[in-house]
Amino acid sequence: MGVLARIRRESRFMAALSRLLKGIKGISPEGRELVCDDFERAADRWPDNVAMICGDRQLTYREMDALANRYAHWAKGRQIRRGDTVALLMPNRLEYVAIWLGLAKVGVATALINNNLTGKSLAHCLNLSGATHVLADGDTWQAFEEVRQQIGRTTMLWVLGLGEGDETSQRRGLDTAVKGASAVRPDRAAREDIKSGATALYIYTSGTTGMPKAARITHAKAQLYMRAFAATTQAKPTDRVYCCLPLYHSTGGLCGVGSALLTGAALVVRKRFSAQAFWSDVVTHGCTIFVYIGELCRYLVNSPEQPMEREHKLRLAFGNGLRPEIWPEFQKRFRIPEILEFYGSTEGNVSLFNFDGKPGAVGRIPRYLRNRFNIRLVKFDLELGEPARGTNGLCIEARPGEIGEAIGEIGHDVRHAFAGYADKAASEKKILRDVFKPGDAFFRTGDLMRQDEAGYLYFVDRVGDTYRWKGENISTTEVAERLAGLPGVEEVNVYGVPVPGAEGKAGMAAIVAGEGFDIDGMKARVDHELPSYAQPVFVRLQRGIETTGTFKYTKTALVQEGFSPPNSKDRIYYRHPERGYVRLDKRALTKLQAGELKL
């Protein structure tokens, strides 16, 4: 790269970084400004601008603030107190953000529950939240009722759109109750002594083992997300931000929401992503920005050409997980002028931005700013599953080009704090101590990365027992626990395997099956007990499963062999989109290896 090109790159980087730092200036865990205060300022500044659009419904900023106020007064009227938690179990809809903003106005936290969950996973998340009130709608309330007896407390269910005949003593319609509440802002005295370090939301994330964990999102953390993307996207009141990502995740629910609702722009929400409807939505609503995850971009690239895919007004796409093999084609085919890739985790204290738009990079830290960022890459011992340590007992920093686990030094300021999970034991497991000197502490991201000489960082893979499929992190332990309960399953080992042409890794289950095992019965069971993204794509029937000396299942060889183990007599099945689990024959294998078989 020539001198002038380097100067332009550094100038662009510093300008973008300055906007970011200016946008998040003043956020402090000890501050008195909460995330709902940020929105109220936006509502006062742009009261008549459209704030949200979902289908054929929309809300102005004034109307959205009024709706949030009604939920605040509804909570007060139900004796839901400051410090309590309400669980929100709904798909994307117009009321979603107004609900948790309204509850925040009276000091109530909201647990954002994945609306795809059922059974034990759903019960676990609800129990972890501690909520005694659950807000649902017509799509989700029955899933709650199926696990009500597994909830360890008396819980009132409130449902939007509930028919009169469906009401019971513990299940009530929410529409009338909210409409009867005041639309006037609750007295700010109700929250004036609450600090920004208080919990605003719980956002659930799959850990490396076990059930989903509830990441504690403080008001300061939510503000950090929302203000950061309002600044880095440079959104204006004339912009329209398209979000078809779930609002229970931080990428859509905080990053996407913040880019619109703190800037006077409109947030266009879709219930769920549809490759067929994507460009029609974007063009019809005049969207200028959209928020992505990498899998979404891959789906669009793999979709047939559509008449509207180049008729849009998009100026920016921002998100995370856009892989280098997809990036150039995605940007060129759909004529996206600018892509802003970022890296971060819901609960973590590490954040990166690729301000340059360099394909494949998740962010950049110039050498001259290294000490201003808390992220480091440390060498990783794949056999132990832990960062490697030298003879002095301290971790070893990875050199440029070397792969290492990304870790973030834990500090007291909002950018570097680690608020942890609702479960304190789970929080401690994410902390790496005595890293570069005795007594220091770093957050473990669980992500392997490498950094080049220019400072660009590239995601390599996840570590531990979690793999990513269809934009979701899946715990192999959780899936294995479900499969272990199937008739005839004697042993089960779950892992992720790469599939040509697909983002992330597809779930594969190696099973030792005995009498009574039925592959068709397995499909029916996993359909009922696991979200679609967590259901194994491949099944491998084995005579035995290799274990370590401590009786832990080994996965390295299984992952390397993938869905086509050489010289193996094991029966391999794959999940056909219409026929369930079917034997993987040579014809299907050829299509899979060519990336031609849809999974």
SS3 30: coil
Among 313, 278, 284, residue whose Cα is nearest residue 298: 278
**15 belongs to a structural domain:** no
Alpha-helical runs (H) found in 395-515: 424-429, 476-484
Instruction: Return d(Cα 63, Cα 111) in angstroms, integer.
Output: 24
> Do the Cβ atoms of 228 and 38 come closer than 8 Å?
no
Phi, psi for residue 433 in degrees, rounded to 5: -110, 160
> Do the Cβ atoms of 180 and 78 come closer than 8 Å?
no
Q: Is the pLDDT of residue 560 over 50?
A: yes
Instruction: Return d(Cα 227, Cα 41) in angstroms, integer.
Output: 13
Domain boundary among 430, 462, 494: 462
Domain boundary among 462, 491, 524: 462
Tokens found for residue 585: 């024959």
**116 belongs to a structural domain:** yes
Residues 554 and 507 in one domain: yes
pLDDT band at 207 (very low <50, low <70, confident <90, very high): very low
Amino acid 398 reads A
**292 belongs to a structural domain:** yes
pLDDT band at 206 (very low <50, low <70, confident <90, very high): low
Residues 328 and 410 in one domain: no
Instruction: Return d(Cα 497, Cα 508) in angstroms, integer.
Output: 7
> Do the Cβ atoms of 440 and 432 come closer than 8 Å?
no
Mean pLDDT, range 470-498, rounded to an integer? 84
465 vs 20, residue with greater confidence: 20
Residues 102 and 152 in one domain: yes
Among 200, 175, 156, residue whose Cα is nearest residue 33: 200
CATH number of the domain to which 486 belongs:
3.30.300.30
∠ CA 239-241-244, rounded to 5°: 165
Alpha-helical runs (H) found in 249-315: 250, 257-261, 275-284, 294-302
CATH number of the domain to which 107 belongs:
3.40.50.12780
Residues 388 and 503 in one domain: no
Residue 242, judged by CB atoms within 10 A of its CB (0-12, 13-18, 19+), counts as buried
Domain boundary among 420, 441, 462: 462
Residues 445 and 536 in one domain: no
pLDDT of residue 515: 86
Residues 113 and 232 in one domain: yes
pLDDT digits (tens, 9 = 90+) for 296-311: 998 899 888 998 999 9
Mean pLDDT, range 170-174, rounded to an integer? 96
Q: Is the pLDDT of residue 209 over 50?
A: no
> Do the Cβ atoms of 71 and 181 come closer than 8 Å?
yes
pLDDT band at 217 (very low <50, low <70, confident <90, very high): very high
Residues 236 and 255 in one domain: yes
∠ CA 36-413-387, rounded to 5°: 120
pLDDT digits (tens, 9 = 90+) for 15-53: 999 999 999 999 999 999 999 999 999 999 999 999 999
SS3 473: strand
**599 belongs to a structural domain:** no
Residues 457 and 524 in one domain: no
Among 538, 535, 544, 565, residue whose Cα is nearest residue 491: 544
Phi, psi for residue 101 in degrees, rounded to 5: -65, -40
Query: Running DSSP on this structure, what letter comes out for residue 164?
Result: G
pLDDT of residue 24: 95
Residues 191 and 90 in one domain: yes
Percent of the chain's residues with pLDDT above 90: 68
Q: What does 482-497 look like in DSSP terms, one character per residue?
A: HHHTSTTEEEEEEEEE
CATH number of the domain to which 448 belongs:
2.30.38.10
Beta-carbon-side half-sphere exposure of residue 170 (alpha carbons within 13 Å): 13
Beta-carbon-side half-sphere exposure of residue 272 (alpha carbons within 13 Å): 8
SS3 68: helix
Residues 126 and 233 in one domain: yes
Among 261, 248, 250, residue whose Cα is nearest residue 222: 250
**2 belongs to a structural domain:** no
**66 belongs to a structural domain:** yes
In this prediction the pTM is 0.83
Q: What's the Cα-to-Cα distance from 229 to each of 70, 255, 306, rounded to whole Å?
A: 28, 6, 30
Residues 451 and 538 in one domain: no
- Report the relative pairing of strands 351-354 and 363-364 from DSSP bridges: unpaired
Number of domains in the chain: 3
**106 belongs to a structural domain:** yes
Region of 231 on the Ramachandran plot (φ > 0 left; ψ -120 to 50 alpha; else beta): alpha
Residues 413 and 322 in one domain: no
- Chain-centre distance for alpha carbon 470: 11
**359 belongs to a structural domain:** no
Residue 531 sits in which domain range?
466-593
The owner of tokens 């040509």 is 500
pLDDT band at 418 (very low <50, low <70, confident <90, very high): very high
